[in-house]
Amino acid sequence: MTIGIDASRAVNEGAGIGRYTREVVRWMIDLAEGDRFQLFFTFVRDDGHKRRWIEDVRSHREHVEVKTATIPGQLKEWLWGKRWWGIKKYMPEADVLFAPSFFEVALGEKTPQVVTVHDLSHALFPDQRGEQVSRRLTERDRRVASKAVRIIAVSQATKDELTRLYGVDPAKITVIPEGYNTFFQPVAGVERQPFFLFVGTVSPRKNLAGLFQAYAQLPPEIREEYRLKVVGAEGWNTNQIFQTYQNLKLEGEVEFLGYQGDEALRTLYNQAAAFLFPSLYEGFGIPILEAMACGCPVITSNISSMPEVAGEAALLVDPSIPQEITEAMMRVATEPKLWAQLHRAGLERVKDFSWEKTARRTLEMLHEIGEQATRD
């Protein structure tokens, strides 16, 4: 069977869907027996980093073919959204096409397409990127959900939202959880330090304003010992977040570290007393697994997909109630037995997830759809 993949996100994005695409594509190529892969990449600026990743995937693999095209993102969104536009010319022999996210589905393509849905944040949080942009993206998402012959949802929560918001038949959706990079693991010689850690884009959906309120409610002696470190690039609509930070006078207690690469992030996970992830919504929540894999106790939300990922290996809180977050932080900081319990439980929990499992199940689905198309 020949599998076509628009793998553009693998070279155009660092985290999130970019990481998902890189891991799943690599693993499927390595796991496949007798399959051929036609990979397609679009980008605006061609550079050595992109080419190195593409060449590394293709190198010494006779069953992998690659094509690239220079197409700006907005033009690609417009073209892929037209009924007359197909992408089969880039992957002419593909029996089935795999889109690692909504943006890679071509609405005019006749070859059966399987798409992965990571979250429905455009529809649920229209103010995140502005009403107009969110409305446009949500409408395209609806069309893509209708076009794809099968949808992979990264969590049961995401599957339920696809059905509730877009009216997608549940039988059309298969839940295949994401994995985590095993680079994240305990590091010998790195000692725990008294600070709390948050990792994620600085945006309203991540509930940093609520986290700051919770942190400010800690007793002064706890705040003096346990600082809060925030890792992540700045996203959209951050005014309220930074206003809350200023109003609570957290300068010197809360440290913004910006985006950090994997090596620095692994060290932080290994050092932190606890990982805080009280998000208002997540399609999955890979940072939960990364923290657990490094032995860092996790405090996360009891809504959306986060309980699915964390299981019973984390303290779950209502993210809308800062006091619950405060109490969880207090417990982790003052109860050594609880800390040790969460440390062990997290290391055990991550054994249920891997990119190999994600890729294997995805490959099985692509086989199913491709073989059905060949029979028809």
What domains lie within the chain, and their CATH numbers? 2-179+354-375 (3.40.50.2000), 195-352 (3.40.50.2000)
One-letter amino acid for residue 261 of the chain = G
Q: Distances from the Cα of 272 to the Cαs of 40, 209, 278, 344, in angstroms?
A: 40, 21, 16, 15
Q: Distances from the Cα of 314 to the Cαs of 70, 147, 278, in angstroms?
A: 44, 38, 12
Residues contacting residue 238 through CB under 8 Å, at least 6 positions apart: 202, 203, 204
Q: Write out pLDDT tens, residues 99-125.
A: 999 999 999 999 999 999 999 988 888
pLDDT at 15: 80
Q: Write out pLDDT tens, residues 228-250.
A: 999 999 888 889 999 999 999 99
CB 336 within 8 A of CB 228: no
pLDDT at 4: 96
pLDDT at 376: 64
User: From CA 147, how far away is CA 115, in angstroms rounded?
Assistant: 10
pLDDT at 128: 73
For residue 301, how many other CB atoms are within 10 A of its CB?
27
* Residue tagged 């995140």 (tokens): 128
User: From CA 253, how far away is CA 244, in angstroms rounded?
Assistant: 14
* Six-digit token string for 322: 């800062």
Using 50 as the pLDDT threshold, list the residues of the chain that sit under it.
Answer: none
Residues contacting residue 338 through CB under 8 Å, at least 6 positions apart: 297, 331, 332
